Structure 1
Amino acid sequence: MKIGIADTTFARANMGAAAADEIRRHTSIRIERYTVPGLKDLPVACKKLIEERGCDLVMALGMPGGAEKDKVCAHEASQGLQLAMLMTNRHIIEVFVHEDEAKDDKELAWLLEQRTREHAVNAVKLLLYPKELERDAGTGQRQGFSDVGPARQ
């Protein structure tokens, strides 16, 4: 088995390195990495990781900027990732951290690292331990910021 990591040079932190480090903390599974310039390059990178490099699951890591055009690009990239999943019948874990989610650079750096690492754990669970995810169903898990917990009546 193999996990692919597609990341971008546009992100303001090395999300690919954080993902690989976290995956290695939980398993000795092989990792393939493919770095591209920007968000809209991620769908083809993920598809290539699956079809050409034999990855069983891929993480797509990116950081959209805060401008409206960046949000449009993120939406287009997300749609491309959905299509790539349907075309390959493989999971692609989209890990986007929008620049305007954080109040300053310190919080942004923390969020880029935290969300990436938490989703890397999710990728390992999805591929190797799906029953662990099933146990967490409906518990309001969030990657990055605090979990919100289940809805109460």
Structure 2
Amino acid sequence: MKIGVADTTFARVDMGAIAIDEIKKHASVKIKRYVVPGVKDLPVAAKKLIEEHGCDIVLSLGMPGAQVIDKTCAHEASQGHIIAQLMTNTHIIEVFVYEDEAEDEKQLVWLAEQRTREHAQNAVKLLLYPKKLEAEAGTGQRQGFEDVGAVKL
């Protein structure tokens, strides 16, 4: 099994290194990293990781800025991820941390690390232990910030 990690030079935190560290804690798999300039470059990086490097799942990591143009670019990248998933029939776990999600740089670093680590765990579960994800269905999991929990009727 092989997990691809696509990340960007635009990000202000080395999310790729964090993802690789977390994957290694939970699975003995091959890992291939592919770094691109920005979020709009991520969909093709993910597709190349799948088709040219034989990855079974990809974590696609980015940190869009706080400006409207950054959010537009992130939306376009998300659409590209969906298309790439459908073209390859392979999961691409998009992990975006928007700069304006955090109150300050300290929280931004914390959020990037938390969200990246939790999604790396999700990628391992999806690839190797899908029953663990099934057990978490409907439990209000959130990656990064605190889980919200299930709605009780």
TM-score by length of 1: 0.99
Query: Structure 1: any 5+ residue segments left out of the alignment?
Result: none
- The reply to whether residue 48 of structure 1 matches residue 48 of structure 2 is yes
Q: CA deviation at 1:28?
A: 1.1
> What is the aligned partner in structure 2 of residue 116 from structure 1?
116
- The reply to whether residue 87 of structure 1 matches residue 104 of structure 2 is no
1:48-67 to structure 2, matched below 5 A, reads 48-67=48-67
1:1-153 to structure 2, matched below 5 A, reads 1-153=1-153
Whichever residue aligns with residue 125 of structure 1, its letter is: K
1:38-86 deviation line (CA, Å, top 9, x unaligned): 0000000000000000000000000000000000000000000000000
Whichever residue aligns with residue 20 of structure 1, its letter is: I
* CA distance, structure 1, for counterparts of residue 118 and residue 19 of structure 2: 9
CA RMSD after TM alignment:
0.4
* CA distance, structure 2, for counterparts of residue 45 and residue 31 of structure 1: 14
The runs of 4+ residues in structure 1 deviating greater than 2 Å are none
Whichever residue aligns with residue 4 of structure 2, its letter is: G
Q: CA deviation at 1:151?
A: 1.1
Question: Percent identity among equivalent residues?
Answer: 72
* CA distance, structure 2, for counterparts of residue 98 and residue 5 of structure 1: 19
TM-score by length of 2: 0.99
Whichever residue aligns with residue 113 of structure 1, its letter is: E
Query: Structure 2: any 5+ residue segments left out of the alignment?
Result: none
